[in-house]
Amino acid sequence: MKNTYFTPGPAELYPSFYTHLQTALDEQIGSISHRSRRFQDIYRHTDEQLRLLLNIPATHRIFFTGSASEVWERILLNCVEHESFHAVNGSFSRKFYDYAQSLHKFAHLFEKPFGQGFDAADIDVPEYAEVVCLTHNETSSGVQMKPADMHKLKRKYPKKLFCVDMVSSAPYPDLDFGLIDSAFFSVQKAFGMPAGLGVWIASEACLEKAERLQQYDSLTIGAHHTLPTLWKNAQTFETPATPNVLFIYILGKLAEDFNQIGIANIRRQTEEKAKAIYKFLEGSEAFEPFVKEERHRSQTVIVANTRRSSADVIASARMANMVVGSGYGKLKDSQIRIANFPATSAEQVEQLLRQLAR
């Protein structure tokens, strides 16, 4: 019997994934040239569907990388000459900061304890920070930052480039790309695909910055997947190197499915399922929500403290063919993480909660 994966990524595959994969195999998408008209049509379709789904304007382009982690590096290389600013409250926002240090950028850190979140009012961005790096959904701690706070912050610092990690929440957050310069995600989270593809959205302002930095002898914007090369190729729906054509095709089809359902419905369903999970956790003797402030509670990766060992909880759920994630890092044994992505239905969530209630 198959398991249902409530893990925060890799996660449950979206139900229609299998059909799209089969169509792709029937059409031999795995063999077509990435320099063919057929590939350009695939890129164009995926671009169109993602634009519609995430409300991405013509000022921004959509690129494909090997992973979202790769995008951390690309943004820092292409958009930061000297200084970046990082709001850090967990392992993944911390890794973005670590990447900046590895690249010898002067990285400003504003850190909050694990489980706490950021509001616009908390954050003072240092004067010389060029890029503000925010994480919409911190996968390790289950903390979210509200898009409204991100937008407010950008209005306060309009000249800085704002960049949002939406790895484990896209397409849930309703970002205003009139304000947000760059965002990125990977497909093995809320899009319900296997891992192996990152998606990077970047604005003309990011491109201008990269083109300027490219002129300098004192630094490099990298060689692979530089923003100017990606941008140039994307104008004709091409890529500088051979991309994951098969996954780009499937992502476009899944985005189309999401658009059929409607992004408003997907967001509402996500919130309803999250509400059910948090309500259960709050009413439970065996669990409690890890994140105290309701407005900072993630809608897509829900973290709970467990009274008994989380290994027991996970093992019991597994016996019932449901897979939940363990806590991250040091909290592995005292927390569980429940992904709330579109691939799992309200009924499946109810089933999980009944199991956890035992």
Integer Cα distance of 251 and 196 in angstroms = 11
Under the criterion CB under 8 A, does residue 23 sit at the interface with a second copy? no
- Rounding to the nearest 10 degrees, give the CA dihedral for residues 179, 183, 189, 194: 140
Integer Cα distance of 11 and 341 in angstroms = 8
Integer Cα distance of 141 and 331 in angstroms = 9
**Contact pattern for a second copy over residues 240 through 259, marking x by CB under 8 A:** xxxxxxxx------------
- CB-based contacts of 270, cutoff 8 Å, min separation 6: 172, 299, 300, 340, 342
Among 78, 87, 88, 98, binds a second copy (CB under 8 A): 98
**Contact pattern for a second copy over residues 304 through 323, marking x by CB under 8 A:** -------------------x
Q: How far is the CB of 122 from a second copy (least distance, A)?
A: 26
Which residues, numbered 32-61, are part of the site for a second copy (CB under 8 A)?
32-34
Which residues, numbered 186-225, are part of the site for a second copy (CB under 8 A)?
186, 188, 193-198, 217, 220-225
Part of the chain binding a second copy (CB under 8 A), chosen from 20-28, 120-128, 143-151, 276-284: 20-28
Under the criterion CB under 8 A, does residue 120 sit at the interface with a second copy? no
Under the criterion CB under 8 A, does residue 19 sit at the interface with a second copy? no
Q: How far is the CB of 125 from a second copy (least distance, A)?
A: 22
Do residues 71 and 184 make contact, with C-beta atoms less than 8 angstroms apart? yes
* Tokens standing for residue 218: 């004192």
- State how far Cα 149 lies from the chain centre: 18
DSSP 25-55: HHTTTTTS-TTSHHHHHHHHHHHHHHHHHHT
Q: Which is nearer to a second copy, 151 or 239 (CB)?
A: 239
Do residues 275 and 351 make contact, with C-beta atoms less than 8 angstroms apart? no
Q: Which residues bind a second copy (CB under 8 A)?
A: 2-3, 5, 7, 9-13, 17-18, 21, 25, 28-34, 65-67, 69-70, 72-73, 76, 98-100, 102-104, 186, 188, 193-198, 217, 220-226, 240-247, 323, 325
